Amino acid sequence: MKEYTSFSAAEINPLQSIEEWEEDVLERYPEADTPAKAKEEFRNYDKPARDTVREFYRLNHTYQTYDFVQEKRKEFLQFNRKEMKVWEAMDFLNTLVDDSDPDIELDQLQHLLQTGEAIREDGHPDWFVLTGFIHDMGKVLCLFGEPQWAVVGDTFPVGCKFSDKVVYPEFFEYNPDNGEEKYNSKYGIYEEGCGLRNVLMSWGHDEYLYHITKDYLPEPALYMIRYHSFYAQHREHAYEHLMDDHDREMFQWVKKFNPYDLYSKSPKPPVVEELRPYYENLIAKYLPEKIRL
């Protein structure tokens, strides 16, 4: 595994903005509850504009190994970088500026408020609304110098054979775990129906935020946070063999959350100061006064 000091700037940040990954997901999944479109159906799939996304996934699929994930968990789950209030953490996330599109005026906080408000408008429980608001807070990893491909991207299990239902599966050819016999079978180091709680997922903002919030939020909220980027399962059903019945029950919530994650953005900005008291009350109800990052 290369050290970060040996990665070029282009390898650390292959995308102009992490929003490019989200735009790619939306193009793959333009409708709720459907599998990905075939490659040939993608608009401009093979055009140069997609090259940065392909390079992002080449890096992600090459370096997200079982050992890499263990290293990242050891490094970041000590939570020894910052301690702050949740709203302060959201303001911190808001310093992650999208320079790739000057026409987009909405910042990270406004997008997350749109997600929360769409959930609230549909009458879901307040913990669901809070989950929508904070679900991307783990992207602060980018502000700690982490490569984009270790923060965002479709997530997948490590420690077993990579599914061809994961986006750009051809790039797993370069992953060192492919040459490890213990990882290169359908079940790998796991057992049939072992449950996702026993499965190591690729590292990113989902897993990071799950560990920050796991002692405070209802279990369906934790599944939404931890698996909202696990498209190979909640859209493609590629890892049924590792799931147990409890996972299947909880994934109904993940599927319920996904449309709000993908389809709630709007050009109309929410009025942050009007909404802030409501969300700060939700934060106070469910989360500690300060969190450690």
- Picking from 277, 26, 3, 5, the residue whose alpha carbon sits closest to that of residue 167 is 26
- Picking from 194, 204, 197, the residue whose alpha carbon sits closest to that of residue 223 is 197
User: What are the structural domain ranges in the chain?
Assistant: 4-292
Q: What is residue 32's predicted lDDT score, i.e. its pLDDT?
A: 77
Q: What is residue 212's predicted lDDT score, i.e. its pLDDT?
A: 98
Q: What is residue 96's predicted lDDT score, i.e. its pLDDT?
A: 83
Q: What is residue 210's predicted lDDT score, i.e. its pLDDT?
A: 98
The neighbour count for residue 35, using CB atoms within 10 Å, is 14
Helix (H, G, I), strand (E, B) or coil at 153: coil
Q: What is residue 105's predicted lDDT score, i.e. its pLDDT?
A: 64
Which residue ranges of the chain lie beneath pLDDT 50? 39-45, 99-103
Assigned token pair, 201: 């997922």
pLDDT tens per residue across span 227-263: 999 999 999 999 999 999 999 999 999 999 999 999 9
Rounded to two decimals, what is the model's pTM? 0.92
Q: What contacts 231, CB < 8 A, 6 or more positions away?
A: 25, 28, 29, 36, 154, 167
Is the backbone of residue 133 left (phi > 0), alpha (psi -120 to 50) or beta? Answer: alpha
Q: What contacts 37, CB < 8 A, 6 or more positions away?
A: 27, 28, 29, 30
Contact 159, 239 (CB under 8 A): no
pLDDT tens per residue across span 148-177: 999 999 999 999 999 999 999 999 999 999
